[in-house]
Structures are given as C-alpha cells and as structure tokens.
Amino acid sequence: MPAATLSGSNAVNISGSSIFAIYKEVYGDRIQMQANLERWIYNQFERSKTPFGGKYWTEPLQDEGGQSVGSYNQDEGLADPQPENTKEIQIKSRFHFATVRLSGFSIESAKKNLYAFAQTNNFEIKSKTEWLLSQLNAQMFQAGKGILGSITTPISNGAGGSFTVDVTAAQTQATSPFWFRKGMKVDVWNSALNARRNSGDTTTKGAGWQIASYNKTTNLVTIVSTQTTAAVVAGDVVAYEDSLLTGTYAASDSGGKQLTGLATLIDDVNEGPQTVQNIDRNTFTIFRGNRMANGGTRRPLSLDLLQQGSDACEFASGTAPSLLISGPGQRRNFLNLLWYDVRYEPQQLKGGYSVLKYNDMDYRVDKDCQLARVYMLAKEKFNKYEVKAIGLLDQAGTSMERVPQYDVYEAIVGGYLNFGTVQPNSGVKIVDLIEP
C-alpha cells in the first residue's frame, strides 16, 4: 500500500483560488507536511488570568517615585509626601483567521465513505490551523506592525519579478528566513512607508504579491509569474499583505493587526513604537525593555555579553531571567564558547545537547527568532492574552457555511488573542551580533 494516495480530485476556482475536492482514497494520517511548521515559542507562555474588560485587558503599573522617605532626627521635620505615580496597561486583542473551503461535489463524494469524509475535513482544517499557528509563532518575535524585512538587492521586475531580502540586519528590520513562505502574499513599501510598490497607493486591499518561491540560502524571493511587479529599490520594506494600509506606522502599537511580539515588548523605543500597551515609554522609561546594541557594528557573542544581559534584566526588574532564546546561528556561537569549558563533561557533549543551559536558564532555539540577536527574559512576566484560543470558529452552531452563489462550503479557523507583558524591563535583547 502506498504511503499516501489522493485520487479523484476536482478543482473549483473562485476569484483565483483553487478549492481541491479530495475524496474516496485517503489512507490514515500519512499525508506528510513538508514545511517546517514547528511553533516552539507560541506554546511556552501561559494564558493570562487577567479578566478581559470588553475592549482590552488592563493591568496596573507603578512607576518609580514616591520617594518621601528618609532618616531624621527625633525632632526634625519630615519630607513632604510625594504621590505614587501609576498608569494602566491596556492590552488590546488581535484577530487571526484562516479560511477552509470545500466543494459541494467533494463533500457528496466523500459521504459515500464516511471515513474519507472525516479525513477530508480533518486534513483541511488541521492544515490551515497549522499554517496559522506557524505564522503566529513568527509574530511572537516581531514588532506587531507586519514588517517582515528590508530589500537589499532588487534582482528583476516585470512578470514574476524577484528580489533579495536582508535577513541578517541587526537593527529594525532583523528577520528570519522562515518568515517567508510559498503562497504568502506580501506588500512592498518604500522605506518611508508612504508608498506601496505593488499598488501605488496606501488604501487598496488585496493587492499583495504572492510568493512563488523563497530560497532560504540566497534569501531570494520570487513572485508568481502571472503577476507584474513594479520597480523596487534597496531599502524597501516587505510586509504582510494589508498590514500597513494607513501608510507610515503610528507611534503607538494600538493600530497593529499582528501579535505584539518580543521585538516591541523588549525594546527601548528603537525598534518598537513609543507608546506600547497604553504606556508612553519616553515618559515612563521604566516600562522599557533592555536593549544591548553596538551602534550597528557586529560583534561576536560572548559569555560576558550574556552575563551583562542577565545582570541588566535582574537589576532593572528585580527578577532573574529564566529563558534564553535565539536562532540556530547564535546557538552555534554559544556552543563554540563551551567546548573547552570543564563544567561540561565529555559524555554530555557526545551527540549534542538535549537542553543547553546558561546560569540555570534553558537556552532554546526557535526557527522564527531573528538572526543576529538573542533574547533573555523572565518567562513568568510574559503572557498570551486570549479571548478565544485558536480553533474552529463555530458561533453559528455549524462548522461550515455555503458561499453565496457557489457550490462551495467555507469554515473559519481563528482566535482572538494578543501577546503582552506586565514588566518589559524583565527582558533583554542583545543585537548587533555576528551571524555565522
């Protein structure tokens, strides 16, 4: 018996989208996903127990101040009292969806075999859920405004044009090769974010270029051959389709559509916006994360840098970091620092590590972590804020609805959630690192 056989497929096209009818011969769970959809960081953070208040979650924040304290003589007047300075964090929900479509013919055909019917639905729904969760895993590292990277070299324009993305930028456009996927639709903006190359305006929806292929070695993005691409230049910004329709991104995170990721939450107003979770980080500077940069000049990862980061996190927040995260390149750099460290016995080096540690912190690798940087954080200070976790949206009491005027049935996988922190200074990011 073959590993997986799919026969009798029928394709229906609606507005350029193909809906494949899969029926009859489907053998078990043997359809093997070829792409890496691992989502490590998305599963690491607990759901916040803070009640949802209708529009957003709220948490109280206390700033430094109130220093009407001291030591005095018995008959000496005391200092005038200072009011405590408090603010309210507001974490707004974000909305995330994936669409599942099946033709009526495929559903009727599959009914002849109830097992095949269940497999058809489960395959489609599970696959879309996995793709959505994989993108949300990437958003956990991003800035929340949809930007995926900057263009370093425009290769060609015209039909099916292509361009190279700078994935190793250590500063505001740092990215990961795994953020780009075949089939993903993207917008390309000029560096000022006020003109969109693929539509010529800032308001037209659904005009994104679809990626035909992405080479993770050369970082070359190729657009599908049926789309005509406009001229792009070095420094242009690549973003999720329709994520920046209002043009220049505001100085607040309130207008973002994606999860507010670590790039914004652990930041000192260099990579993320000035106002985050309703807090102006130029006024309440204690609400900034710890960012360790080197003026754009690359330097090697070192144990001293990691110790500086750990100290900065603990001294700023009073909480020691418990998790260290990077991409695979910085893990290689970290391993190279340890080969001759006598604290690691030879038998523990054989075959690699199951879990690396630094100062009792787990050192974890996530494919979606930006290159040329390392994150360090007190995990308990960061949470997922969920109104509804990712799953099949079924508020109407039926999982699939017919698309008007078409013999096609549609279901929505989605959820309402955001990522946030009550204490961003309990995290640190080390940037400007040499990527191997």
Q: Whole-angstrom Cα distance, residue 91 to residue 281?
A: 15
Q: What is the CA radius of gyration of the chain?
A: 25
198 and 164 fall within a common domain: yes
User: Count of domains in the chain?
Assistant: 2
Please state, for a pLDDT cut of 70, what percent of the chain lies above it. 76
Task: Mean pLDDT check: name the lowest of 38-47, 70-79, 203-212, 404-413.
Answer: 70-79
pLDDT tier at 87 (50, 70, 90 boundaries)? confident
Q: Is residue 240 part of a domain?
A: yes
Task: Mean pLDDT check: name the lowest of 73-77, 97-101, 378-382, 424-428.
Answer: 73-77
Q: Is residue 168 part of a domain?
A: yes
Task: Mean pLDDT check: name the lowest of 165-174, 251-260, 357-366.
Answer: 165-174
Q: Whole-angstrom Cα distance, residue 187 to residue 197?
A: 8
Q: Is residue 258 part of a domain?
A: no
Q: Is residue 224 part of a domain?
A: yes
Per-residue pLDDT reduced to its tens digit, 25-48: 444 444 555 666 667 788 888 888
Per-residue pLDDT reduced to its tens digit, 364-375: 999 999 999 999
The residue ranges of DSSP E strands in 22-93, in sequence order, are: 56-62, 86-92
Question: In the predicted model, what is the mean pLDDT of residues 258-285?
Answer: 91
**Which has more confidence, 88 or 13?**
88
> Last residue of some domain: 220, 248, 276?
248
Q: Is residue 308 part of a domain?
A: no
Residue 244 belongs to domain spanning = 146-248
166 and 108 fall within a common domain: no
Per the prediction, the chain carries an average pLDDT of: 80
124 and 202 fall within a common domain: no
pLDDT at residue number 417: 93
Please report the DSSP string for 200-244 in residue order: SSSS-SS-PEEEEEEETTTTEEEE-TTSEEPP--TT-EEEETTTT
What are the residues whose beta carbons fall under 8 Å from the beta carbon of 423, sequence distance 6 or more? Answer: 317, 319, 378, 381
155 and 115 fall within a common domain: no
Q: Check if the beta carbon of residue 414 is closer than 8 Å to that of residue 98.
A: yes
241 and 126 fall within a common domain: no
**Cα Dmax for the chain:** 95
Whether the model clears a pTM of 0.85, i.e. scores above it, the answer is: no
Q: Whole-angstrom Cα distance, residue 141 to residue 260?
A: 8
195 and 119 fall within a common domain: no
- CATH number of the domain bearing residue 208: 2.40.30
Q: Is residue 331 part of a domain?
A: no
Question: In the predicted model, what is the mean pLDDT of residues 302-311?
Answer: 96
Q: Is residue 295 part of a domain?
A: no
105 and 19 fall within a common domain: yes
Paired with 154 in beta bridges are: 163
Per-residue pLDDT reduced to its tens digit, 89-147: 888 889 999 888 877 776 676 666 655 555 556 677 888 888 899 999 999 999 888 99
Give residue 408's identity as a one-letter amino acid code.
V
> Last residue of some domain: 189, 222, 248?
248
The residue ranges of DSSP E strands in 288-403, in sequence order, are: 290-292, 323-326, 356-358, 361-365, 374-377, 382-392, 401-402
Question: Can you say whether residue 4 is alpha, beta or left, with left for phi > 0 and alpha for psi between -120 and 50 degrees?
Answer: beta
